[in-house]
Structure 1
Amino acid sequence: MIEDPSNLSPYADISWEKIDKVKFHTYGAGLFTLLSTALYPISVVKTRVQVGRRNAVHTSSLRIFKSILKDDGVKGLYRGFTTTATGAIPGRAMFLATLEISKESTSKLLSDVNLPDATKTAVANGVAGLVSSLISELYYVPLDVVTQRLMVQGLPGVAKYNGGIHAFRKILHTDGVCGLYRGFGMSVATYCPSTTVWWGAYGASQHAIWKSLGFADGQHPGEVLVVSVQAAGGVVAGAASSVITTPLDTIKTRLQVMENKEGHKPTIIGTAKQLINEDGWRGFYRGLGPRFLNMSLWGTSMIVTYEYLKRLSVKPMPQ
């Protein structure tokens, strides 16, 4: 008999040891790839905004979206998608496994600490997000570098590639292994806080929403309400994370796609100064609109899918 998810209280979290890992990752690979397919164009637009030339901050995301469609058609919105979709599968499995194990370990450490339940949930989720992000960045940064190079093809002064493998080989030949890890420090500085804030805000907001609705531990809301609360928590988490970390993401993206010129490698400080010279302090928030939209839509869709997968993949209970 399979454990009935409807019997779980609103505060319940299915432990990693109760999940069928094969079922979870098999179903997850398909569902998360579908989500990525739907939301990938937003990432392309965001990247184009962030690496654009002077006064790009004044260029609307909608105008860039229309420009890509006009110049390259729908395929222009999916440049680098095959590389991302294929490469993200093992990376995602690594991230989710680390996330669950870290969350459970932190929750156990906090079980006897005198803190409100909402705070414990936020801390456990935040620590899990931080640890899983740190580990997964070793895998994801080279994938990001290659994918983002493919996304910005067609812009002035940007190299052209014949797919992900060609881009990988050319970067490796030109800049060595260091080229594949261009912006690694900024990626860690961007995604670790971003992931920590996202998961922490999600855990705290979901707990607060259930409490505001009058549900206590041991009560069993309907599936529609559960999904609605999870989706609302995803929106709150996406909003908080995107506003806090967009400046870091803008610098990171530009570092990863800029070509070396005359032996000079782009630096964090140099990139930041260039943004200020071009658009002032507003330049750091290039792509905030599409990034906020992407993180909110992706976060909401991801968390609803993620929680559904956990419930779907619960191991059969012994008779």
Structure 2
Amino acid sequence: MELEVDNVNLQVIEFEMMDKRKYYPLTMLSSFSIRGLLYPFTLIKTRLQIQRGTEIYKGTYDAFCKIIRNEGASGLYRGFWVNCLQLIPTVSYISTYEAMRQFLKDNTDFTHGKSRSFVAGGTASFIGQTLAVPIDVISQHMMLLGQRVSKDEGKIDRKLAQLQTLKISEEGRLSRLGSVKEILQQIYIRDGLRGFYKGYFVSILVFAPNSALWWAFYDTYTLFFAGVSPEWIPRLAIQCFSGTLSGVSASTITNPLDVIRARIQVEGSNMNETVRTLWKEEGLLMAFKGLSARLVQSVMFSFFIILGYESIKRLSLLEEYRKDVRW
């Protein structure tokens, strides 16, 4: 399929054009690599969103320096291996996105690329979040374990004590598997099975619009820059730049809901209570809480995800389409 922008043809690689035996393994490898590269920003964003005001960290850079100084470099990867289970929702997400785009093309009047991307992105996020929320709940608790404001292991800080929503023993803290086991037990004791879906509906409210907007912005920016860019600029470069702008646009719009989601999942409060608490603590600034870390994460994530996504699609092309696709 080709999208025409003035006199520029931009090739869109559809799901049916790819060899799935190459596509899925490469997608999982790319997702794991990107997740490992950007995980510290995810951890910092979560800690900034959970804290009261600026009690512990003044911002993204301050959080980065304090974590390195007080917890070591490994502190930036606390809970990483649990978070890697997100590879399963990631594959489900991208499969749903591609399949939905194809379905809309073949069976509906959604012939415009941006409309199909918007609907497919929202649907994919709904499926992905259904699988991802329990992993998010556990990994966010893992991100807070071992947090401290001093190298002094014996020092008990009241600010950090206020952030501890689960009673994890010191033995559990020292063992990765032990802490995961205790987190699972404590969540179940506190809230039962529904505790693993704390914030599910607010996650849908955050990530479905974010995903829909991201893909719609991506198509919009890609088409625009393809139309105004010189012919010698690689199409992959245009797509990576467009993906970066899409991440900034979608993240800025949905950040207030992301702050609410993080608080609900960690503290276990309901949405009304969480919004009232955040408004009392932050006022209008709640809309920007953790935004700098989220933008850094989103810019880098969007760039690398599109670099990987579009490259993998090209590498997975069936032989009969290879001559028609331009890098």
Common fold, TM-score beyond 0.5? yes
Instruction: For residue 318 of structure 2, give the secondary structure of its aligned residue in structure 1.
Output: coil
* Cα drift, residue 55 of structure 1: 4.0
Question: What aligned pairs does 1:46-61 form with structure 2 within 5 A after superposition?
Answer: 46-55=45-54, 59-61=58-60
Instruction: Structure 2 unaligned segments of length 5 or more: list them.
Output: 1-7, 148-159, 173-177, 322-327
Q: Letter of the aligned partner of 1:235 in structure 2?
A: T
* Cα drift, residue 249 of structure 1: 0.1
Match for 2:115 among 118, 123, 131?
123
Question: What aligned pairs does 1:210-229 form with structure 2 within 5 A after superposition?
Answer: 210-213=226-229, 225-229=234-238
C-alpha contact (below 8 Å) 1:150/1:164 kept by paired residues: yes
Name the counterpart of 1:91.
89
Instruction: For residue 14 of structure 1, give the secondary structure of its aligned residue in structure 2.
Output: coil
* Cα drift, residue 213 of structure 1: 2.2
Instruction: For residue 11 of structure 1, give the secondary structure of its aligned residue in structure 2.
Output: strand
* Cα drift, residue 65 of structure 1: 1.3
C-alpha contact (below 8 Å) 1:95/1:136 kept by paired residues: yes
Report the Cα distance in structure 2 between the residues aligned to 1:56 and 1:126, rounded to whole angstroms: 39
Report the Cα distance in structure 1 between the residues aligned to 2:288 and 2:77, rounded to whole angstroms: 23
C-alpha contact (below 8 Å) 1:183/1:252 kept by paired residues: yes
Q: Structure 1 residues 61, 289: closer, same or farther in 2, change over 3 A?
A: same
Name the counterpart of 2:260.
251
Report the Cα distance in structure 2 between the residues aligned to 1:112 and 1:299, rounded to whole angstroms: 25
Report the Cα distance in structure 2 between the residues aligned to 1:112 and 1:44, rounded to whole angstroms: 38
C-alpha contact (below 8 Å) 1:80/1:163 kept by paired residues: no
Name the counterpart of 1:300.
303
Q: Does 1:39 align with 2:44?
A: no
Q: Which has the higher contact order (CA 8 A, sep 6+)?
A: 1
Q: Percent identity?
A: 26
Question: What aligned pairs does 1:50-199 form with structure 2 within 5 A after superposition?
Answer: 50-55=49-54, 59-85=58-84, 87-108=85-106, 120-153=112-145, 154=147, 155-157=160-162, 158=164, 159=166, 160=168, 162-199=178-215
Give the aligned length: 290
C-alpha contact (below 8 Å) 2:226/2:235 kept by paired residues: no
Instruction: For residue 156 of structure 1, give the secondary structure of its aligned residue in structure 2.
Output: helix
Report the Cα distance in structure 1 between the residues aligned to 2:30 and 2:306, rounded to whole angstroms: 12
* Cα drift, residue 110 of structure 1: 6.2
Report the Cα distance in structure 2 between the residues aligned to 1:27 and 1:21, rounded to whole angstroms: 10
C-alpha contact (below 8 Å) 1:57/1:283 kept by paired residues: no
Q: Structure 1 residues 107, 204: closer, same or farther in 2, change over 3 A?
A: farther
TM-score, structure 1 as length reference: 0.85
Q: Letter of the aligned partner of 2:249 in structure 1?
A: A
1:244-293 Cα distance to aligned partner (Å, 9 max, x none): 0000000000111115xxxxxx1111111111111211023210001011
Report the Cα distance in structure 2 between the residues aligned to 1:22 and 1:45, rounded to whole angstroms: 36
Q: Structure 1 residues 56, 197: closer, same or farther in 2, change over 3 A?
A: farther
Q: Structure 1 residues 279, 57: closer, same or farther in 2, change over 3 A?
A: farther
Name the counterpart of 2:4.
none
Instruction: Structure 1 unaligned segments of length 5 or more: list them.
Output: 1-8, 114-119, 215-220, 260-265
C-alpha contact (below 8 Å) 1:68/1:76 kept by paired residues: yes
Q: Letter of the aligned partner of 1:152 in structure 2?
A: L
Q: Structure 1 residues 140, 76: closer, same or farther in 2, change over 3 A?
A: same
C-alpha contact (below 8 Å) 2:48/2:57 kept by paired residues: no
Report the Cα distance in structure 2 between the residues aligned to 1:185 and 1:281, rounded to whole angstroms: 23
Q: Letter of the aligned partner of 1:290 in structure 2?
A: A
C-alpha contact (below 8 Å) 1:146/1:168 kept by paired residues: yes
Name the counterpart of 1:312.
315
Name the counterpart of 2:325.
none
1:101-120 Cα distance to aligned partner (Å, 9 max, x none): 1112223456686xxxxxx2
Name the counterpart of 1:277.
280
Name the counterpart of 1:3.
none
Instruction: For residue 245 of structure 1, give the secondary structure of its aligned residue in structure 2.
Output: helix
Report the Cα distance in structure 2 between the residues aligned to 1:242 and 1:137, rounded to whole angstroms: 17
C-alpha contact (below 8 Å) 2:133/2:203 kept by paired residues: yes
Q: Letter of the aligned partner of 2:209 in structure 1?
A: P
What RMSD, in angstroms, separates the aligned Cα atoms of the two structures?
A: 2.1
* Cα drift, residue 22 of structure 1: 2.4
C-alpha contact (below 8 Å) 1:55/1:278 kept by paired residues: no
Match for 1:201 among 213, 217, 225?
217
Report the Cα distance in structure 2 between the residues aligned to 1:191 and 1:72, rounded to whole angstroms: 31
Report the Cα distance in structure 1 between the residues aligned to 2:245 and 2:99, rounded to whole angstroms: 24
Report the Cα distance in structure 2 between the residues aligned to 1:56 and 1:203, rounded to whole angstroms: 41
Report the Cα distance in structure 2 between the residues aligned to 1:287 and 1:15, rounded to whole angstroms: 36
